């Protein structure tokens, strides 16, 4: 009985949140609408990163995959005249192929060598964008990237229509990731992340599943890149540096990766703090580094662990909180 109640409660919360997000842009300052669109992009990045992190490892080039999607989508639209709404998924495909290529090179690496190699590869790509004025625009990036067109009388180049486009894309991606999580393939992913040796002994081809997770995660990250550039009208290579990657990593760690909701909680809390801490921009990296250390020390289950404990207490106030099983 309490399970159905939780499900109803959960569905209620989600519906309320979505409704809130739909009403929000009509009452908020235009600046906040832009902030919200970037928030949706970070949610997509965090969830796609979680997919890769759980089955494989904490690679450090995910933000560059995002960048590959951004550059690809921008260049398809600007140089080849491809319509924006086609360029964005195409950018995702390019990012996916690139992610699979990079991952397959590093498939047999583990440990420190792996992390350093992923960092190296990320920098390699970013420096390629920086060095080559033609075709990547060098340090100034690419400008004059087309805005989305007018469809059915609605100009998607305007803030509010594009906001809803972003919202729908984000919800669609979250839904797809959720379906995958609950499927047999999601079970195989979980099995590999829990005990790769055991999974292999039952016939699960681990490299193949790692590449599959990477292809899916990279595709969504690339789509996020497409969403970005057609709002900004430009691509700036500075967006895809190691600092951004570390923010993404920290937010996912803080949120937790055990459940589907971890990265969402992490990004929501941390991105809010990120925006609120603009006046103290010098101290920001230190602050987030400290936040991650504190979470790792005192809240190893991440914020999602804290959340489920709180919800458990709210539902059964008399029951002592369950001890954390790792």
Summarize as ranges the residues that interact with other proteins (CB under 8 A). Answer: 176, 179-180, 183-185, 187-188, 190-191, 194-195, 197-198, 200-206, 212, 216, 325
Instruction: Name which of 196 and 233 has its Cβ closer to other proteins.
Output: 196
The C-alpha atoms of residue 194 and residue 192 are separated, in whole angstroms, by 5
The C-alpha atoms of residue 52 and residue 132 are separated, in whole angstroms, by 30
Instruction: Name which of 32 and 180 has its Cβ closer to other proteins.
Output: 180
Q: How far is the CB of 44 from other proteins (least distance, A)?
A: 18
Looking at the DSSP bridge assignments, the partners of residue 154 are 151
CA nearest to 176, candidates 48, 9, 84, 62: 48
Is residue 307 classed exposed, middle or buried when 0-12, 13-18 and 19+ CB atoms within 10 A define those classes? middle
Task: Say if residues 85 and 223 touch (Cβ distance below 8 Å).
Answer: no
Q: How far is the CB of 167 from other proteins (least distance, A)?
A: 21
Sign of the Cα pseudo-torsion (170, 176, 179, 184, in order) = negative
Instruction: Name which of 176 and 242 has its Cβ closer to other proteins.
Output: 176
Q: How far is the CB of 229 from other proteins (least distance, A)?
A: 27
Instruction: Name which of 27 and 197 has its Cβ closer to other proteins.
Output: 197
Give the largest CA-CA distance in the chain.
66
Could you tell me which residues come within 8 angstroms of residue 226 by beta carbon, excluding any fewer than 6 positions away? 69, 70, 72, 73, 74, 87, 88, 89, 91, 92
Instruction: Name which of 51 and 245 has its Cβ closer to other proteins.
Output: 51
Instruction: Name which of 21 and 185 has its Cβ closer to other proteins.
Output: 185
- Token pair, residue 151, equals 């469809």
CA nearest to 96, candidates 239, 247, 188, 213: 213
CA nearest to 105, candidates 72, 73, 61: 61
Task: Say if residues 303 and 269 touch (Cβ distance below 8 Å).
Answer: yes
Instruction: Name which of 2 and 201 has its Cβ closer to other proteins.
Output: 201
- Token pair, residue 301, equals 């289950």
Q: How far is the CB of 278 from other proteins (least distance, A)?
A: 40
Task: Say if residues 208 and 201 touch (Cβ distance below 8 Å).
Answer: no
Q: How far is the CB of 188 from other proteins (least distance, A)?
A: 6
The C-alpha atoms of residue 277 and residue 273 are separated, in whole angstroms, by 6
Q: How far is the CB of 45 from other proteins (least distance, A)?
A: 20
Q: How far is the CB of 297 from other proteins (least distance, A)?
A: 23
Instruction: Name which of 154 and 200 has its Cβ closer to other proteins.
Output: 200
Q: How far is the CB of 200 from other proteins (least distance, A)?
A: 5
């Amino acid at each position: 009985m309490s399970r159905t109640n939780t499900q109803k409660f959960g569905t209620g919360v989600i519906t309320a949140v979505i409704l809130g997000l739909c009403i929000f842009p009509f009452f908020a300052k235009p600046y906040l609408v832009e902030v919200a669109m970037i928030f949706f992009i970070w949610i997509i990045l965090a969830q796609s990163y979680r997919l890769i992190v759980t089955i494989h490892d904490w690679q450090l080039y995910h933000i560059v995959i995002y960048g590959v999607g951004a550059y690809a989508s921008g260049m398809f639209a600007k140089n080849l005249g491809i319509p924006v709404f086609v360029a964005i998924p195409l950018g995702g495909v390019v990012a996916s192929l690139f992610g699979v290529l990079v991952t397959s090179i590093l498939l047999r690496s583990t440990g420190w060598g792996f992390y350093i190699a992923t960092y190296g590869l990320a920098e390699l790509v970013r420096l390629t964008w920086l060095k080559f004025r033609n075709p990547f625009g060098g340090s100034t990036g690419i400008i004059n990237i087309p805005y989305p067109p007018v469809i059915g009388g609605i100009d998607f180049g305007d803030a509010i229509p594009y906001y809803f486009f972003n919202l729908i894309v984000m919800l669609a991606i979250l839904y797809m990731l959720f379906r995958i999580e609950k499927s047999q393939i999601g079970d195989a992913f979980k099995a590999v992340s829990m005990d790769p040796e055991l999974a292999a002994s039952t016939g699960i081809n681990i490299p193949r599943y790692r590449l599959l997770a990477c292809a899916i995660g990279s595709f969504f990250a690339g789509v996020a890149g497409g969403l970005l550039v057609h709002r900004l009208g430009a691509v700036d290579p500075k967006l895809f540096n190691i600092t951004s990657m570390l923010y993404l990593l920290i937010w996912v760690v803080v949120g937790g990766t055990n459940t589907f909701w971890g990265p969402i909680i992490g990004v929501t809390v941390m991105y809010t703090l990120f925006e609120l801490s603009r006046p103290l921009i010098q101290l920001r990296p230190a602050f987030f580094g400290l936040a991650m250390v504190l979470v790792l020390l005192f809240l190893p289950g991440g914020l999602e662990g804290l959340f489920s404990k709180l919800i458990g207490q709210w539902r059964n106030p008399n029951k002592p909180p369950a001890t954390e099983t790792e």
